Every structure is written in C-alpha cells, then in structure tokens.
Amino acid sequence: MRGGWERVRGTTVTLGGEQQGNGSRRGALSTAPSQTIRLGRVQPQAPGHRTVYCNDREANLPVKFKGNSISTTKYNLFTFLPKGLFEQFRRVANLYFLMISILSTTPISPVSPITNVVPLSLVLLVSLVKEAFEDWKRMQNDRVINNTQVEVLLDERWESIPWRSLQVGDIVKVKQDGFFPADLLFLASTNPDGVCYVETSNLDGETNLKIRKALERTWDYILPGKAAEFKGEIECEQPNNSLYTFTGNLIIQKQTLPLSPNQILLRGCSLRNTEFIVGAVIFTGHETKVMMNSMNVPSKRSTLERKLDKLILALFGVLFCMCLIGAIGSGIFINKKYFFLNLYGNVVNQFDPGNRFVVGILTMFTLLTLYSTIIPISLYVSIEMIKFIQSTQFINKDLHMYHAESNTSALARTSNLNEELGQVEYIFSDKTGTLTRNLMEFFKCSIGGVMYGNGITETERGQAQRNGIKLSEDMKSNSHFQEKGFNFDDPRILRGAWRNENNLDIFKEFFRCLAICHTVLPEGDESPEKIVYQAASPDEAALVTAAKNFGFFFYRRTPTLIKVRESHVERMGKIDDVSYEILNVLEFNSTRKRQSVICRYPNGRLVLYCKGADTVIYERLADSNTDIRKITREHLEQFGSSGLRTLCLAYRDLSPEMYENWNEKFIQAKSSLRDREKKLDEVAELIEKKLILIGCTAIEDKLQEGVPACIETLARAGIKIWVLTGDKLETAINIAYACNLINNQMKQFIISSETDEIREVEDRGDQVEIAGFTRDFVKEQIDKCLEEAESFTNLVVAPKRALIIDGKCLMYALDPVLRGKLLRLSLNCDAVVCCRVSPLQKAQVTSLVKKGAKKITLSIGDGANDVSMIQAAHVGVGISGLEGMQAVMAADFAIAQFRFLTDLLLVHGRWSYLRLCKVIMYFFYKNFTFTLTQFWFTFQTGFSGQRFYDDWFQSLYNVIFTALPVIFVGLFDKDVSTALSKKYPELYKEGMRNIFFKWRVVAVWGFFSIYQSLIFYYFTASASRMGHNSSGKIFGLWDVSTMAFSCVVVTVNIRLLLTCNSITRWHYLSVGGSILAWFVFIFVYSGVMTPWDRQENIYFVIYVLMSTFYFYLTLLLVPVVALLGDFAYLGLQRWFAPYDYQIIQEMHRHEPEPTSRTELLEIGNHLTPEEARSYAISRLPRENSRHTGFAFDSPGYESFFALQQGVLAPQKAWDVVRRASMKTKSKPPKPPKH
C-alpha cells in the first residue's frame, strides 16, 4: 500500500473533500472558494471536485470521506430532550403556558404551580412520546439497513461486511436482486458487453428496467484476482442531489476516460437480470444521491390553522383586557378604610395602599396565572390527533377511493392539510396520465405526405355528439390487429402492403426510425408474440410496438448494437436480421424536446434519426421538400383536433468526415467536468440540422374512466379547473371538450403564437424582433380579451368563459408588466387551458393564483414534470400512474384516478373542514366559559386574585373532564351522507366561503359563553346565600365553587351534543364518561386529605353537598337555563336562516341511504371473480341507520357489511366487537296453530 501513500504525499485537503496537489492536473482542478449551498442533509462545496483512489483505503484516509452509515432519525439520546422541547415550545401556546407555569411558582400566584404544570406536562408528554415512537421506528429501520451485508474485495478475495463499514474507493460485488449499498462506478458485469439492468423504483417509482454500461476498459475486472489489480483514480463532482446527471473522469494507467450517468449505479436501486456486478464506491452514506433527495416535502400549513393563530391572538387580547380591568380595579379598591383587611404596618407590595401602581402591576401578573385557562392548552394536541386518525383511518381506507385494477388505495402523506381539502377553489391539472390513462396506442400516422389510419378517436366521437351527428360503428378491416400499444387499422400498409405504395424508401426510413431511435429494452423470448418492451414512457413502447407490427421487429439491444428483424424489405415474405451499430444517442429532455440516434448500417451508411415535437423538428428541417412539410403540418393539425399526441420523424445522411469531426467535439463535451449537459446540447445542435422530414405519428391516450362526470361535479361545487399540459393547442382544446371542461356555449378567448403574423416574423430569424413582436401581440390580445371578459360581469345572465393560451404567449404574459392583467383575465374565466407549457411555467401559473388571488389551490399530476406545480400549490395531489412515483412522493395526498377527487374533496375535505371548525369553536367556548366564571368572582373579592376553583379542578378541566367528547366530534360528526355530499356538490361552497369559521361565528359562541358563565356564577353563588347544609351551616366558597364546577362540566358536555349533526354511541359514551369521571374524581379527591395537601378546604365537600336537596335542584336547573339560549338560537337559526346542509337534511330526513345491490348485480356480470369481489366490497353500504356516524363508514367494518350483502370479505378482529354490540333482531311471531 506504500504506493498509495506516495501518491497523496504533498497534497492539501480542503473542507469540501477536494485535493489540490502540486501537479498540473491537480492545479487545473483548483477553484476559488464558493458559497456553500444546502442540498438535503449535507453542504457540498460547489463547484469543487473530489478525487477517489479506487481499491486503496490508505490513500483515501487523509481526505476523511463520510462513512456509509446512515441515520434518518431526528434525535439521539443526548439531543432528544432539548431538541424535542425546543420543537414543542416553538408553538406560541406552549410557550405561553411555560411562562404561566413559571409565574405560578412565585408568591404572587394565587394558584398552586400544579394547576398549570400538570396540563402542560401532559401535553408535552403526549407530544414527546409520539416523537420518540416515530424516531424509534426510524432508528430500527436504519439499523436494519446499516447491518445489511455486502461483499467487498479485501486481500484479493470477497468478504462480507455490513453496509455501515463500507468506505469510499472500496471494490464491491452486488448479486442479482441485491440493492446497491452506495453510489458505485460500474466496472464489470457477468453479462456480455459489460451491461447490467437496474430497477430504480426506490428512487423515482419507475419499475421499467434501465440499462447501464461499464466502460470497455474495465470489463475484465470481474474476478477477485483481476479486480485487485484495479488502481484507477476517479475525479468527479462533489455530492449533489441530481439523480440524472453525473460529471467525472476515470484515470487509469495515464488514460483519461469520461464518465456519464450510464456508468453510475445509485444507492437504493436494485440489480435485475444480471448474475452479479463489480463496482467502485464513489459516494457513501448521506452523500449518496438518494439520501440527498430525502428532504421532507416543503412544510405546508392550512389556511384554517393560520386563522386559528389569529383567534389565539384575539384570546390573548381578551386575556390582557380582563387582567387590565382587574389590575385597575385592584388599584382602586385597595384602601385602609377597609380595616378588616389589616392593611397597616408591614404589608406586602401587592396589597400596599401607599403604592397603588405596584399593586396594579402585581395584580395583573396574579390574574394572568388565574385566567390562564382561557387559552386551550390541549387544542393543538387534540387537532393533531383528530387529523392523524382522519388521514390514516378514513382517507387511507376509504373503499370509494380504492382502485381495484392497480390494487391502489388513497394515501394521505400528511395530515396537516385535511381541512384544506374542504376549501379548494382552483384545481391545476396535468393532462397526460392525470385526465387520461397514459396507455398509449399507435392510432394514425402520416408518411411522405399521405395520411394512414381509419379509426375514430374518443374525442371525435365527443365532437360529433356535441354537434348532434350520429357516427356509424367503426368497421374494422380484415388486416386490423390490436395489441397493447397498437390500435391501427389501414390495409394499405399493414401486413407488408406498404410495398404497393409509392416511394418505398421513405416507408423504410419511417419504420427504421421507429425501430432504432429509442432507448427501449426488450425482455423475454425473442419472438413478436412473447417479447416485452421496457420503456421509459408509454409513448416509446407504443412506437416500437408499431414498428414490430409493420414488419420491423426490434428484438435485441446491446450497448453498441440494435438488432431488427425486417420483413418484406427486399421482396414480400423475405425476413432479414439486420444489426445496426449505435454510435451516439442524443437523449430526450424537456429542453431539447427531441431524441436522436446516430447509427451505422451494415453497408457502412451513416444516418442520424431524430424524433420529437413538431415545433423543434420543423425548425431544423432542410429547405427542400416544402410540399411534404406543408401537407404534414395540415395532418398534424388534424391529428391534434382529434385529440391525438403527435411526434415528427426526420433523418439525415452523414458523411464519414462530417461525423468524425463532429464526434471529436462530442467526446470533448462528454469529457468536460464543467457544464457538461450544456456543452452536449450545444454539440447536438451542430448535427441536428438540415433534416429531411419523413412523416409524423399520432398516438391516442384515452380519458380515464369518470373524468367528465368528475369535472362536471367539481364545477357545480364552484371549483374552477385549469389544465396545464405540454401538448399542442388543438389536442389540449379537444381533450378539454371531451372531459366537459369546455363546451360550445362558452365564450372562448384563445391567445396563441401560431398566427400568420408571428410565423412571418419568425421566418426572418431575428430573435430580438421576434421577442418584441410577440410581447406586443400578447399584450394586445390580453387587453382585448380582458375588456371583453369584464364587460360580461355587468350582464344579468353572462355566458361562461374559457381562456386558452400556449406556452410561448404564456412566457411573455407572466412578465411582471402583464402578470396582473393575465391574473384578472384568468379569474374572470370559468376554465383555463394552458398548452405547450414547461414544468417551470406550470409552477409559475399555480403561484400566480395562489399569491395573486389569495385563493386556495390544488395541483394534481402524475409525472416528474408535475412536481414543481404540486409543491407550489396549497395542496398537492399525486396520481400513482405509469410515470413512476415522483409526483406521489412530492405530494400531500395520493390517489389512483382523477375521479377520486370527488370523494377526496366533496366528502373527506368538506367533512374535515366542518369537524375542525366545530372542534376549534367548542374549545374556545368551553375555555372562555370556564374562565369567565372566575372573572365574575374577581369582582366580589376586591380584585385580590382569590381563586374560585380548586387547583386540581382547573388542571384537569381540559385534559380529562372535557377532552374526549370533542375528539369524537372531530372524528365522527357528519352533516349529510357520502351519497348526498356528491349528489349536492353545491354544499362544498360553504367551505369556500369559510362560513363556519368567521368572526361572526366566534362572536355568537362568545356571546353564549358570557351568558352561560353569568348563569353558572350568579345562580350558584347568589342563590346559595339562602341555602344551607344538613347541619344548618350556610354554603362556603368551596361548596359553591364545587357546585358551579359540576354545572360547568355537565353543561359544556351536553352543549356538545347540541352541536352534533350525527350522534353515535361514542358520543354518548364519551359525554357520559366525562361527566362520570368528574364525579368519581371529586368523590375520591374530597374524601382524602394528606398533611402536605394545600386543599384542606375541599375535604368532604361533595359529601356535604350531596346530602342537600339544593345541590340536585341546582344540578338540574342550571344546565337547563344555561342551554336554553343555545337551544332557542339553534332552533330559530334552523327555521329562519338555515345553512345549505340543513336544507338537505330536511329534504332527505326520511330517506334511508340507498344501497347499490342492483347496480352490483348489473356490473358484476362483466368482471372477473377477483374484480367482482373488489367491486362488491367497494360498493358496500356505509350507513345502515340515521344514527350511524362516520365511525362505521370505516372500511374496518367491511366484513360485517359484506356478510349482510352476501359478499366474501376477510374477517377483522374488531368485527366481533361490532357484531356483539348490535341488538338482537326480534324474531318473527310464530304462526298460530290450527
């Protein structure tokens, strides 16, 4: 190992891990210090580089690379308590109670410290236990991962060590189906040509296999003896979170070889279809790309939670006013004339008549501790608990949002935004895979200016139906063949008939372009019937499948060859296996919008095949063949109007000299360590020009089931839907028609750059002129459309409006000068369609409405290009579709189909909003009521701060005596059933208007708090002056306060039942249990006295009270009188100013919830047995009586309901409890004997 030390001698180690030696190569890499950029959990130095010595641990030792052990925990043994408490005290309410608890330990406090310390401790304990449990689960998972075994090359043999012991530079061996323990440089494989197959589902959710190819120079390092000879140096970028890029060079035996992402195997991916591979460790532990992407989704707070903060601040204001009144009153009241107070001589400052200002100040602090209960300490914990159960038990297990075909249920990835789902006003949706199925079928094409394909699309049928035209059934020809990805019918070119067409060469170029220009991997038997194509997108798989059905069967790929079985090329019936050498692949990305492949024919011909969006292909065409260009453009427009996705195909013949010159530049760009992607794009531009147009393809992506009905329902709910798509204008408009987003009765404002004037300017090629002209054009169009749109607002019956704008115009419309007008125009429209937009523009449009209009937004998408849009909205929803799971991983909620938005928003969202509003209002009411009784007592104690209630009463009021019932309301209360929520989507508008959490509602609850507190105090205190116990003594302070507290507990719990729309047994049990808990506590507490107990005055109080008739009369009458006002108000409000849901309740109060057994029988005949069972379970009734709350909507009871319907479903343990709690049905009477 001595040679390794000699190599690093004389180097300087920087903090970023970069080595700067004295040699020329090291000097070339040295960079000036740069700003530290935070990415994930580490802070890499950008744009520095690192040098890794392979198979030489001692050489890497001075650099001190990070180890491979990972930790995803938030805390450790030493930081748990301080860090956990810091997290808890970031909440204003907890910090407030900490301050109150400290004040309660001072002499000025009238209450024992236990009064505030106990509830605060309970709240903190619950929160810390929850945090500890979650962190412990993370630690267990980390331990399993860190102890996984991997084979490492040590002393020329493979030895198993745990992942945590792996070091940068180690040579590892990973077997088939194993996971890569770190980010590796792929050296060698058991597969021929140094390839391996990788599944990246843990990174991006994509299950299709990716091909990785080792450098030819390292193919031999497969056996341990040979691998031990490998002593290369890797110079590469510092750790970063970019999954799809890598910049570096491998220096081996003084030869520098460029490295690309194709040679990198990322941690978390797994090896497939390969016996084993050998690789060198580059990044370890928290510096691996997957760990640097493990940042949490941006933290989002719901609008309701932010409004709750305002309510808490208002309560702080009320508390200050109450304390100020008491302080002023105390300063006025203190006087020596009250001789019985003994205010002579040495008097404490708080009661010194000679310094009234100090008296007022100290009294204010005293009252602050006394009135501290006005802020509900358990509110946040209760809300968190309610939201968590709503998410995990109701949303995640709702069978109405279960997709049987993909076996996917809904998933709430966060519980913070449940109620936000009930207030959404704008939905931003992707098109492909979100509104459509993302199941692509090759449907039509245009070759050499001739259109082929006879089918009728769903969109065309929808257009005909809107226009009142009845289309005949689509008759298929004898040559028609359909399989997954191919639904094409035209006898002119199927089964080799294309040989009878004119210009055979262009057909060959078309089919070869489909068969060669792609990155698809074939799997399985090399036969057309059994082969399976693994593609990065459904489009690519459809195009290769089309080539196969046209007679150009792609069946094998190596890193340098593509093999195609060509039929009917020379003559009908002849089949040839042709190998095309793949020289270069210029990959597709969202900027280039095209993909190119340079290949060499067996006869030596060099050809570049290119496919991509029509806009980018047309810009790069040669000047010849203007007729085909014009005709093909017309075909593209026809395909777009039919709702089809189009791609243009082109090619270019290359001379060997031209290719060699270009390839040198390409290799230079590929070897660059700086801006490699940018340089590769620039080099690609040099050869992707002077293309010859072959034709275009048209692929159909059908709408998902139930999309039109879902959009219509959401529109009735008042939600405005915007579609943001990368498709062309015509396609986007027709899809919008097909899914009922746009109709012929709408006034349409179209702002498109596809006009003759703009094309004329573009043809001149002056970029400055193009930009200026387009900006002026967009401004003029927006002004014109805005004026017309605002003119409709004055009409009594105004037509609905829709805005359609393309990406090029949107780029200028989002300029700060025009942004405001664009927003005004958009908000005046009922639907907006943005086409040809980039991922960044999607996020910009979402942010425009979110920040500019201050409306609650929801973004929904299924692909990686939708992530920025999903994270920009208030609520992000991911579709778990065919484009991987990146959208889901970035989203707040995940569903399988767009139509499930109806249940997610109109049912769960609306219920969550309604429930949480009631929970918050009720917390405000019960705490305000309780505190006000103490406030009224202060007026009769000379504002001295004398407590009215025992300390333990005050401590346990929130955490035991009134805690459980409100949680059940937050879980089970529902105003109308699921079916009625979807039947009357207009109910959703109540959440949009936030009518249940307005200051008016707070004022009503506050008014009744004041009213009830006066009843509690004066009915018990004033009336008890004439009362006496069985021994003839009048009631004292503790008798009255215990009686008043009993009335408060009974009243506030019964008041909760008046609030409920549906009452279950859980409501009765919790309310009864809370009241019973109070009496059990007071019986025990007043029957025991210890020497250190401060509350000797409460001893035996309840026994004395219960021996008097007065106590029972008070306990009966006071709650009745206190609740009389609430009862009258609720009745009058329901009669004269009912909410919308109350009207629906009255309309359907005698109607049982409909079952769907008939519907099940009708649909069941068309399903497989497994699908029928899944469907049957999904259609089970969710409510069997009007007394059943949402508790029994939980799918946990599916087996119980299934039994009633005769459907087989697995038994659950809790069903036993459910059945045991059911009343036995009465038996029918026996017939009389004759």
* Gyration radius from the chain CA atoms: 37
In this structure, the strands spanning 183-189 and 276-283 are antiparallel
Q: Of 1108, 1132, 965, which Cα lies nearest the Cα of 1042?
A: 1108
In this structure, the strands spanning 19-20 and 49-53 are unpaired
Cα–Cα distance, 552 to 514 (Å, whole number): 9
Cα–Cα distance, 1098 to 1102 (Å, whole number): 8
Cα–Cα distance, 734 to 436 (Å, whole number): 12
Report whether 165 contacts 151 (CB < 8 A).
no
Distances (CA, A) of 890 to 871, 893, 1230: 7, 9, 64
Residue 376, both tokens: 């509900």
Geometric angle at alpha carbon 217, from 212 and 220, rounded to 5°: 85
The secondary element (H helix, E strand) that includes residue 1120 is helix 1109-1136
Q: Is 479 exposed, middle or buried (0-12, 13-18, 19+ CB in 10 A)?
A: middle
Report whether 912 contacts 390 (CB < 8 A).
yes
Q: Residue 394: CA atoms inside 13 Å, Cβ hemisphere, count?
A: 27
DSSP code string of 107-136: TT-SS-THHHHHHHHHHHHHHHHHHHHHHH
Q: In the 3-class helix/strand/coil scheme, how is 1062-1102 assigned residue by residue?
A: CCCHHHHHHHHHHHHHHHHHHHHHCCCCCCCCCCHHHCCHH
State whether the Cα torsion 393-397-400-401 is positive or negative: positive
The secondary element (H helix, E strand) that includes residue 797 is none
287 DSSP assignment: G
Neighbours of 65 (CB within 10 A): 20
Geometric angle at alpha carbon 438, from 434 and 441, rounded to 5°: 150
Residue 1066, both tokens: 């859980």
Distances (CA, A) of 478 to 214, 449, 983: 47, 25, 46
In sequence order, the 6+-apart residues with CB closer than 8 A to the CB of 411 are: 396, 880, 888, 893, 894, 895
Report whether 908 contacts 421 (CB < 8 A).
yes
Cα–Cα distance, 900 to 705 (Å, whole number): 10
Active-site residues, by number, are 430
